[in-house]
């Protein structure tokens, strides 16, 4: 090769990345001093090269913070502004965002809590919101029962997914005092039963007998089969 003064080879000439010369590879370089991989000059490394473009170099990248203004937030179609949150018959303005909530009806963010100066007592499961003349206290569910309660939104999603729904209505009733007329047999035959029952009959022995006709004797006749003519006369 006229360029690298080496034997014939296919493709581009070999260039050593250690010394920067043509005609040999890096693993066969006889130069002990390591040069710059950027400008191929000796005496410094690539990280200290004065010809290196610092603007294109990686390394430590300065972080950036992006802020979403109120105007851009209102333009989001998922944000519903001008809503009202009712807590214990007290109304509060709130902006809602439509998200997948699961078993919750609404999730209140830290911005809304800080705006209303709310205090969260995690140990007592309480949220205190100061008002003008009082403090609104919202207590969590203290029920220790194992009964699982789901919200209406989650129940509707189960129905839309094809789940079976069993509706049970529970009403509290007060039992009334039983009367004699409430028994069907006594109500149908009032002339047989007295108006007032003094109580249950006393325990006694059952007396059962069959009255016989005086002078009658039991039938003592050997059974035999009648002829058809005799059966006809009896009939």
* Tens-digit pLDDT profile for residues 56-83: 554 444 444 444 444 455 555 667 788 8
CATH number at residue 35: 4.10.60
Residue 213 domain-assigned (yes or no):
no
Contact of 82 with 93, CB cutoff 8 Å = yes
**Is the same domain home to 40 and 93?**
no
Last residue of a domain, one of 139, 165, 189: 139
pLDDT tens for 142-200 read: 655 566 777 778 888 888 888 888 878 888 777 777 777 777 887 888 787 776 666 77
Residue 11 domain-assigned (yes or no):
yes
Residue 214 domain-assigned (yes or no):
no
Tokens 């109580």 appear where?
A: 199
Mean pLDDT of the chain, nearest integer: 73
Q: Write down the pLDDT at residue 77.
A: 63
Residue 203 domain-assigned (yes or no):
no
Residue 183 domain-assigned (yes or no):
no
Q: Write down the pLDDT at residue 65.
A: 42
Q: Cα separation of 113 and 120, whole Å?
A: 9
pLDDT tens for 42-55 read: 767 777 788 776 55
Last residue of a domain, one of 107, 139, 171: 139
Range of the domain at 97: 72-139
Alpha helix segments (H runs only) across the chain: 70-74, 110-115, 152-160, 184-188, 228-234
Last residue of a domain, one of 139, 174, 193: 139
How many folded domains does the chain comprise? 2
**Is the same domain home to 34 and 92?**
no
Residue 192 domain-assigned (yes or no):
no
Residue 230 domain-assigned (yes or no):
no
Could you count the other beta carbons within 10 Å of the beta carbon of residue 108? 15
């Amino acid at each position: 090769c006229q360029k690298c003064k080496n034997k014939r080879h296919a493709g581009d000439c070999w260039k050593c990345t250690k010394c920067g010369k043509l005609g040999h590879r890096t693993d066969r370089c006889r130069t002990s001093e390591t040069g710059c991989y950027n400008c191929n000059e000796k005496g410094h490394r690539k990280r200290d090269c004065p010809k290196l473009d610092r603007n294109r170099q990686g390394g430590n990248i300065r972080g950036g913070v992006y802020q979403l203004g109120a105007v851009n937030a209102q333009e989001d179609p998922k944000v519903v502004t001008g809503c009202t949150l009712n807590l214990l018959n007290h109304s509060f303005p709130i902006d809602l965002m439509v998200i997948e909530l699961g078993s919750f009806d609404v999730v209140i963010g830290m911005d809304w809590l800080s705006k209303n100066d709310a205090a969260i007592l995690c140990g007592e499961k309480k949220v205190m919101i100061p008002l003008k003349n009082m403090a609104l206290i919202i207590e969590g569910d203290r029920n220790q029962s194992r009964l699982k309660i789901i919200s209406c939104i989650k129940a509707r999603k189960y129905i839309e997914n094809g789940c079976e729904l069993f509706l049970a209505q529970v009403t509290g009733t007060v039992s009334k005092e039983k009367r004699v007329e409430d028994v069907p047999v006594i109500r149908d035959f009032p002339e047989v039963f007295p108006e007032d029952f003094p109580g249950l009959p006393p325990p006694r022995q059952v007396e059962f007998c069959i009255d016989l006709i005086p002078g009658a004797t039991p039938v003592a006749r050997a059974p035999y089969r009648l002829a058809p003519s005799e059966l006809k006369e009896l009939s």
